[in-house]
A and B are shown apart, each in its own frame.
Chain A
Amino acid sequence: MTAQLSSGTAACPGCIATPAEPARPIPEDVQIALSLPGIHCSACIANVERELNAHPGVEDARVNLTLKRAMIKAAPETRAADLIPVLERAGYEAHELDPGALSATQADKAGRDLLMRLAVAGFASMNVMLLSVSVWSGATDATRDMFHWISAAIALPAIAFSGQPFFANAWSALRVRRLNMDVPIVLAILLALVTSLWETALSGKHAYFDAALTLTFFLLAGRYLDYRTRAAARSAAEELTALEVPRAIRLVDGVEQEVSVTSLAVGDLVLVRPGGRMPVDGQIVSGTSELDRSLLTGETLPIFAEAGLVVSAGEVNLTGPLTIRATAVGEDTSLHRMADLVAIAESGRSRYTSLADKAAKLYAPGVHILSALSFVGWYIYSGDVRTALNIAAAVLIITCPCALGLAVPAVTTAASGRLFRKGMLIKHATALERLAEVDTVVFDKTGTLTSGTPELTNLGDHSRADLEVALALAEASSHPLSVSLAKSARDAGIKPARVEDVVEVPGYGTEGTYRGQLVRLGRAGWTGGDEGNQTAAWLAIAGQTPAAFLFADSLRPGAAEAVHAFRDAGKEVILISGDTKGAVQALAGKLGIETWISEALPQDKAAHVQALSDKGRHVLMVGDGLNDTAALAAAHVSISPASALDAARVASDIVLLGNDLSPIADACDTAVKATKRIRENFRIATVYNIIAVPLAVAGLATPLIAALAMSTSSITVSLNALRLR
């Protein structure tokens, strides 16, 4: 794993045989993980595995279609950069994943543990049910007693093993003198076992071993569903994190070394290539370039960078290579300092109580009182502890929240699955419930409503000759403005002029010789143009006044639809951006957003969201940048696109996987429906209790009635949840 970090940067298969520089000796093989978003069939699996296994150095490659991922075991000097082109030639999109960030998913111990307990409870309950059915259908005397004893022998160890999650939860609640859903569950299971044992010992008629086991089984099924939903979201979120492999190029005595970001120290010289992101806070030592700060501040205009400028982790270098000296690394960088703001904002949100907790608060004391009252009542009436205890146990078992335990997880699983297919990842357990309450939507501009790529707006204002020269110059650079200019010009059918000696001057633009004259395309100050507040590239041809190519940030697909859908649904839409007034106003006008705030600092954004919450609004915040992080955490519920910074994704409840924004409005709909289903499920469970509880209190409930009531209510609740798919 470390070997792939240590070698040089060349990316050709030939370099495997002769590494560009001596790698540190690593004896064992490396694990490489690749994300393959495009694979979908058996032919894809076979092709990818064949291509990878044919590659020298690869020892074993295995595709996981469920996770759309390939795990590769390879010789130490093999690097992912060599394997990706192999797959891309075969027609498969591939991205490297950081195996370190994925490790948590592979060792899915908690899920496996829960599944094992579920299986034991399931098998045990089936066996006990078989014996119980014989008792219900008329086994008597010694046969019945023997069946009860065998049931006890199965039920006691099975519950001791599979009921552990409930025992642990109930104990941790009782220790701090609180009641949760697990306390009545544990009490019901234990009381059922104790009275059944007692009855069996006295060769009584009714034993509830089957009820105790089915109860455990259904409740574990609910837990497992809940766990799976969140594990799927967590593993997808981890994959997003793992896509940004944290590497940097460290300069040691002028020699480049590719190292992991965590191993950088203060004072190290770090080389950042064009297109790369600053791994640390620092100061530029040499090089000139332009920096894109939009993820940190929301500004779309790139800033000029030269030696002496202080840079922050997360900024993107656009044109020329920069060498920076690290002044803060890891946890001390401005990126991570933002976490403090997030922690403060988040403390406000944790006060939300989920529907399940609200139900448990009403329910737990209710059933305890009811069961205690029936015990006391029957004891006074009959004077027999055994009868009274039997009835109290029956009341607890019948009211036990089988259906309640399934009511929420079944619905959230169905709803999350549906949203996942639409490209949304529900990270937080109560995110759907909170999303359903939203009445105000706050959008960030750069990178959220806009895609962060510039679009040429005034192509028609220029003469064909100018455009031909501009295209020739633009094609020599990978600056976002040049790329966009070149694309628009090509689309308009422009052919590049013959410009000679084209060179890129990092931080300024490109220049060349056209018909013996110097021509330049670049910053206003360098070409003689006027610095305005709109993003522009200037074309200077000797003897002509410089011509401006104006750019606007292009709208993200689905942005207009999402905004309209929210407005149609009667929600207030607000735009808060760190960008300049002109740019924000233009976009707000274009989308029909009436309330907008420009030049907002990160603290301002969070304060605005907080102010809205204080007025009783339920705010949905949609944002992607570091400057949105605090606001994302302060909002009632938050969404960030997959392109957002890691910090922003961590702070938000829902991640939008695709490029399109329109599923957001859909998600609100689904959330409202899901909450409705959850409430319906609670009502169904209550109706069953209303019918069955009087029977239990009256002493008429038999184990058969308990088993029927429990199973039918659980199954109805699950079926009702499935209607959401």
Chain B
Amino acid sequence: MEVLAYLIPISLFLGGVGLMAFVYTVRSNQYDDPEGDARRILSDEWDDKPKP
């Protein structure tokens, strides 16, 4: 059962990473144009990074 001492912090840390990633995507407007982003990936004129 000693393995729990590692596994529980790891699972909590991974959950926290997921939450942080989600918060980052919301903050950087990545859900403003879901339909457009789905199509842009097919375009040759790719962007270096999402524009504000």
- A residues sitting closer than 8 Å to B (CB atoms) are 41-43, 45-46, 49-50, 60, 62-67, 112, 115-116, 119-120, 123, 126-127, 130, 143, 150, 154
Complex interface: chain A residues within 8 A of B23 (CB): 116, 119
Which residues B2-52 have CB closer than 8 A to chain A? 4, 8, 11-12, 15-16, 18-19, 22-23, 26, 31-36, 39-40, 42-45, 51
Contact B51 A67 (CB under 8 A): no
Q: Contact between B15 and A127 (Cβ–Cβ < 8 Å)?
A: yes
Chain B residues closer than 8 Å to A65, beta-carbon distance? 33, 35-36, 39
* Cα–Cα distance between A130 and B18 once the two chains are bound (Å): 15
B43 & A150 in contact (Cβ 8 Å cutoff) = no
Determine whether the beta carbon of B19 is less than 8 Å from that of A120: yes
Are the C-beta atoms of B35 and A42 separated by less than 8 Å?
A: no
Q: Given A112-B26, A115-B26, A143-B4, A45 and B36 touching (CB < 8 A)?
A: yes
Whole-angstrom distance between the alpha carbons of A703 and B16 in the complex?
A: 25
Shortest B43–chain A CB gap in Å is: 5
A-B contact pairs, 10 of them (CB 8 A): A42-B40, A45-B40, A60-B51, A65-B39, A66-B35, A123-B15, A123-B18, A130-B11, A150-B12, A154-B12
Report whether B33 and A66 are in contact in the complex, using a CB–CB cutoff of 8 Å: yes
Q: Which of B12, B16, B39 has the most CB of A within 10 A?
A: B39
B28 to chain A, nearest CB (A): 11
Q: What are the residues of chain A within 8 A of B51 when measuring CB–CB?
A: 60, 62
Chain B residues proximal to chain A, CB less than 8 Å: 1, 4, 8, 11-12, 15-16, 18-19, 22-23, 26, 31-36, 39-40, 42-45, 51
Q: Which of A42, A60, A123, A143 contacts B42 (CB 8 A)?
A: A42
Complexed CA–CA distance, A126 and B18 (Å) = 12
Interface of B is mostly: helix
**In the complex the two chains form, is B39's CB within 8 Å of A42's CB?**
yes
Instruction: Give chain B nearest CB distance to A72 CB in angstroms.
Output: 12
A50 to B32 Cα, complex, angstroms: 21
Beta-carbon contact of A116 and B26 below 8 Å: yes
17 further contact pairs, Cβ within 8 A, besides A45-B39, A119-B19, A127-B15: A42-B39, A42-B40, A42-B43, A43-B43, A45-B36, A45-B40, A46-B44, A66-B35, A119-B22, A123-B16, A123-B18, A123-B19, A123-B22, A127-B11, A130-B11, A143-B1, A150-B12
- Contacts A42-B42, A50-B45; is A64 near B15 (CB within 8 Å)? no
A43 to B39, CA, bound (A): 9
| Cβ contacts under 8 Å, B8 to chain A | 150
CA distance A364 to B41 in the complex (A): 49
Inter-subunit contact A66/B34 (CB<8 Å): yes
* B43 and A46 contacting across the interface, CB-CB below 8 Å: yes
Task: Give the chain B neighbours of A123 by CB distance below 8 A.
Answer: 15-16, 18-19, 22
Q: Which of A45, A63, A115 has the most CB of B within 10 A?
A: A45
Which partner residue on chain A sits nearest B12 by CB separation? A127
CA of A41 to CA of B35 in the docked complex: distance in angstroms? 9
3 tightest A-B contacts by CB?
Answer: A65-B36, A42-B39, A64-B33
- The chain A residue with its CB closest to the CB of B8 is A150
Contact A66 B32 (CB under 8 A): yes
Q: How far is the CA of A126 from the CA of B12 in the complex (A)?
A: 10
Question: Using Cβ atoms and an 8 Å threshold, which residues of chain B touch A126?
Answer: 15
CB distance from B22 to the nearest CB of A (A): 5
State A161–B51 Cα separation when bound (angstroms). Answer: 30
Cα–Cα, bound, A525→B45 (Å): 63
Min Cβ gap B44→A in Å is 8
Shortest Cβ distance from A400 into chain B, in angstroms? 25
**Bound CA span A94–B19, Å:** 40
Residues in B with CB closer than 8 Å to A41 are: 39
CA distance A143 to B5 in the complex (A): 11
Q: Which B residues touch A64, using CB under 8 A? A: 32-33, 36
Distance between A129 CB and nearest chain B CB, rounded to angstroms:
11
Query: What residue in chain A is nearest B51 (Cβ atoms)?
Result: A62
Q: Which residues of A contact B33 (CB under 8 A)?
A: 64-67
Taking CB atoms, residues of chain A closer than 8 Å to B32 are 64, 66
Chain B contacts for A120, CB-based, 8 A: 19
Chain A residues in 8 Å Cβ range of B35: 65-66
B43: A residues at CB distance < 8 A: 42-43, 45-46
Q: Which residue of B lies closest to A126 (CB)?
A: B15
Q: B15 to A46, Cβ gap below 8 A?
A: no
Chain A neighbourhood of B40, CB < 8 A: 42, 45
Q: A46 CA to B36 CA in the complex, in Å? A: 11
Give the complex CA separation of A154 and B8 in angstroms.
Answer: 12
CA distance A66 to B39 in the complex (A): 11
Q: Quote the shortest CB–CB distance from B6 to chain A (angstroms).
A: 14
Closest CB in chain A relative to B31 CB, distance in Å: 8
